[in-house]
């Protein structure tokens, strides 16, 4: 295995005069989490590439993420946020692909059962299939059925589900939620991020209480459709560290072989997010 890929990182700058944040959006600590600050944490843990996820308070303005990608060519790939209601959303997606973006974050808001029925979402999924651009849903388990329906409609669209569909937020890992997530494995282009350990289950390092959940997902998806990630900077606060997140996969999951770890820690993310970069 070569260097690790962190498949989920947010970066931002305190320079709000140049990179404006949306009014009324929640700001998160720390005030500054630049690419340089991230890499200072990541490189000692063996991480040499990462996928940047557009931060919510920047809205549709992906310029800071794009600046980081330009400043560090081949180090960062990107997942952008675009306006699904825009009549030219497909052209926007293709332009972002040209600039190194390989996926688009989508969220259900207050309508987890119907959010994907909107015409713009349909256009995005169709374009995702044509251009091999991933739809990256940040969802809770209640939105899994809507993703299932869309995967049936657009079976060639890559889908990367963030943070194990947030199963275990609040501390309880419900079997029905796990079964719903595992059921999506029947769609061959669905991937799952094994990530955000600080927020799931007990939320305490070394996070080994998550091993049964990860094992069930591993058994259904296999290592080639799982990718590890931190969700930095949130996995870099208090007792939570980048190293502890890496170590759960690299050292504490005894059902994984070396080849499995290589896929989860690097190769899957490389195929989905770094192709052609």
In terms of CATH, what superfamily is 4-273? Metal-dependent hydrolases (3.20.20.140)
Question: Given this model, what pLDDT does residue 86 score?
Answer: 97
Q: Summarize pLDDT for 182-204 with one digit per residue, the tens.
A: 999 999 999 999 999 999 999 99
Q: Report the C-alpha gap between 7 and 33 in whole angstroms.
A: 17
Is the confidence at residue 2, as pLDDT, over 70?
no
Mean pLDDT computed over every residue of the chain: 97
Residue 88, SS3 per DSSP: coil
pLDDT band at 277 (very low <50, low <70, confident <90, very high): confident
Q: Are 11 and 52 in contact (CB under 8 A)?
A: yes
**In what helix (H) or strand (E) does residue 4 lie, and over which residues does it extend?**
strand 4-9
Yes or no: say if 50 and 33 are a contact pair by the CB < 8 Å rule: no
Please report which confidence band the pLDDT of residue 276 belongs to, taking 50, 70 and 90 as the band edges.
confident
> What number is the average pLDDT over the span 134-152?
98
- In this prediction, residue 232 carries a pLDDT of 98
Half-sphere exposure of 206 (CA within 13 A, CB side): 10
Domain ranges, ordered by start, for the chain: 4-273
* Model pLDDT for residues 231-256, shown as the tens digit of each residue: 999 999 999 999 999 999 999 999 99
Q: 134 forms bridges with which residues in the sheet?
A: 103
Distance between CA atoms of residues 161 and 139, nearest Å: 8
* Cα distances (angstroms) measured from residue 261 to each of 92, 93, 162: 35, 32, 19
pLDDT of residue 49: 98
Q: What is the pLDDT of residues 54-87, one digit of tens each?
A: 999 999 999 999 999 999 999 999 999 999 999 9
Which residue has tokens 């052609």? 276
Of 184, 91, 79, whose CA–CA distance to 136 is shortest? 79
SS3 116: helix
pLDDT at residue 1 in the model: 44
CB 158 within 8 A of CB 133: yes
Rounded average pLDDT over 219-231? 98
What are the angstrom distances between the C-alpha of 22 and each of 9, 26, 88? 20, 9, 22
What would the mean pLDDT of 9-35 be, rounded to a whole number?
A: 95
Residue 71 phi, psi (nearest 5): -70, -25
Give percent of the chain above pLDDT 70. Answer: 99
Secondary structure of residue 162 in the 3-state scheme: helix
């Amino acid at each position: 295995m070569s260097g690790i890929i962190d498949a989920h990182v947010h970066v931002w700058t305190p320079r709000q005069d140049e990179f404006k944040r949306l009014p009324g959006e929640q700001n998160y600590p720390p005030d500054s989490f630049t690419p340089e600050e991230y890499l200072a944490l990541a490189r000692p843990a063996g991480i040499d590439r990462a996928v940047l996820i557009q931060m919510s308070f920047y809205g549709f303005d992906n310029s800071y993420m794009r600046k980081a990608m330009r400043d560090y060519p081949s180090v960062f790939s990107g997942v952008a946020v675009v306006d699904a209601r825009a009549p030219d959303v497909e052209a926007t997606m293709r332009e972002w692909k040209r600039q190194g973006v390989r996926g688009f974050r989508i969220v259900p808001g207050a309508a987890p059962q119907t959010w994907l029925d909107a015409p713009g979402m349909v256009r995005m999924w169709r374009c995702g299939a044509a251009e091999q651009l991933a739809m990256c849903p940040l969802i809770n388990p209640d939105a899994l059925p809507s993703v299932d329906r869309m995967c049936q409609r657009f079976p060639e669209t890559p889908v990367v589900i963030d943070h194990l569909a947030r199963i275990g937020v609040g501390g309880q890992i419900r079997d029905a939620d796990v079964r719903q997530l595992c059921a999506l494995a029947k769609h061959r282009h669905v991937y799952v991020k094994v990530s955000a350990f600080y927020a799931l289950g007990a939320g305490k390092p070394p996070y080994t209480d998550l091993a049964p959940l990860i094992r069930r997902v591993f058994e259904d998806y296999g290592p080639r459709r799982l990718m590890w990630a931190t969700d930095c900077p949130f996995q870099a606060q208090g007792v939570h560290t980048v190293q502890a997140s890496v170590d759960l996969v690299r050292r504490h999951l005894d059902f994984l072989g070396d080849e499995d770890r290589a896929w989860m820690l690097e190769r899957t993310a490389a195929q989905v997010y770094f192709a052609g970069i």
